[in-house]
Amino acid sequence: MEALTPTRLIIRLILCMALLAVVMFVCSLIGTQKISLGSVLDGPGSVPGANTDYDIFVRVRIPRIILAALVGAALAASGVVLQAILRNPLAEPYILGISSGAALGVITCVLTGASITAGVKLGAFGAGASISVFAFLFAMATCWLVWLVGHLAGGSGITSLLLAGVVVNAFFSAVIMLLTSLIDSQQLRTIIFWLMGNIGEKDFSTLLASAIFIVAGIFGLFTICQKLNVLTFGTQEAQSLGVNTRAVTFAAFAMASFITAVAVGLSGLVGFVGLIVPHSVRLVLGPDHRQLLPASAFVGAAFVVICDTIARVIIAPAQFPVGVITAVIGGPVFLLLLARYSKKIGYQR
């Protein structure tokens, strides 16, 4: 294996980007409504009346595919970072309950927020912003809680942390159930679909804001990748190699929670992306985070775009949540990895 140079990294990332572009392009042409690329390229107003193909492509397909890509990138990157910081190859925002923490934040805000925003008259933007803030704070708190419980539960196994995550997850799910039972039945279907991880249509401004947040978060994480490499050897080792472990751990938790919260706000609970994608990428490119993180973001984006396309068309004209697909793939992968890692890992705090 050769050393990683910026040139090599850039070439590989361009390849990943190309892969993502191809996947997005192909998936944008697949759907319940057959559309022809030709009439899309003709643009609006080229045929008498409305160019339906163009409208579907630009107003429905493209936003949805961009949304799926954003969610995938965020969740995969978050998985990479959590695995490094927690030194646990099975860590993942969904499994550790961080996604449900963020979801709880969103629902809490939706339930209480109506009155708050009405009072302060912040309008739609205020409501959106406060939802993001709530989701982020809840995700961050969950991150910290899981880490603390896993730490206190002690032991050197990789399972204590996962157990902590499972318990936190179960607890939050219960609270979410409780809160959703307070919601009137009209909204219920939307909320439940969202909780199952649903990628629907979002307006352009939401998409743009989310894109900025997620790209900024991933870029921020990219700047600490070498430190993450070192941190996988434990805090003592990392400190001896000149890494301020507390600062880096905090920054990583904060940024990973942030992009997870944004992704959850967009699409609810999409599970296992942060597990499947980093592991696949690691198999091909190795564990160096400077490469693993950006590559996983691209591959994660492509993965969720594909999963969402399957969710859109497989029982057409009906659709089901993309979280169902990722869980169906991710569950078995998780079990395989669990069996593999619980046998052989020497583990150091």
Task: List contacts with another protein (CB under 8 A).
Answer: 1, 3-6, 9, 87-89, 223, 225-227, 229-230, 232-233, 236-237, 239-244, 282, 286-288, 290, 344-348
Shortest reach from residue 91's CB to another protein, in Å? 10
Shortest reach from residue 274's CB to another protein, in Å? 15
For residue 25, count CB atoms less than 10 angstroms from its CB and return exposed for 0-12, middle for 13-18, buried for 19 or more: exposed
Closer of 210 and 296 to another protein (Cβ): 296
Closer of 300 and 321 to another protein (Cβ): 300
Distances 145 to 77, 107, 134, 148, 228 between C-alpha atoms, Å: 20, 19, 16, 5, 21
Shortest reach from residue 242's CB to another protein, in Å? 3
Shortest reach from residue 157's CB to another protein, in Å? 12
Closer of 62 and 345 to another protein (Cβ): 345
Shortest reach from residue 281's CB to another protein, in Å? 12
- The amino acid sitting at 264 is V
From the centroid of its chain, how far is CA 299? Answer: 12
Shortest reach from residue 339's CB to another protein, in Å? 16
Closer of 9 and 122 to another protein (Cβ): 9
In angstroms, the CA 2 to CA 206 distance is 42
Closer of 189 and 344 to another protein (Cβ): 344
In angstroms, the CA 150 to CA 338 distance is 17
Closer of 43 and 155 to another protein (Cβ): 155
Both tokens assigned to 20:
């993502």
Closer of 25 and 347 to another protein (Cβ): 347
Shortest reach from residue 63's CB to another protein, in Å? 33
Both tokens assigned to 196:
């199952």
For residue 63, count CB atoms less than 10 angstroms from its CB and return exposed for 0-12, middle for 13-18, buried for 19 or more: middle
Residue with tokens 């909780």: 195
In angstroms, the CA 92 to CA 150 distance is 14
From the centroid of its chain, how far is CA 218? Answer: 11
Shortest reach from residue 342's CB to another protein, in Å? 12
In angstroms, the CA 151 to CA 155 distance is 8
Closer of 187 and 348 to another protein (Cβ): 348
| Number of other CB atoms surrounding residue 155 within 10 Å | 11
Element holding 84 (H helix, E strand)? helix 62-85
From the centroid of its chain, how far is CA 312? Answer: 19
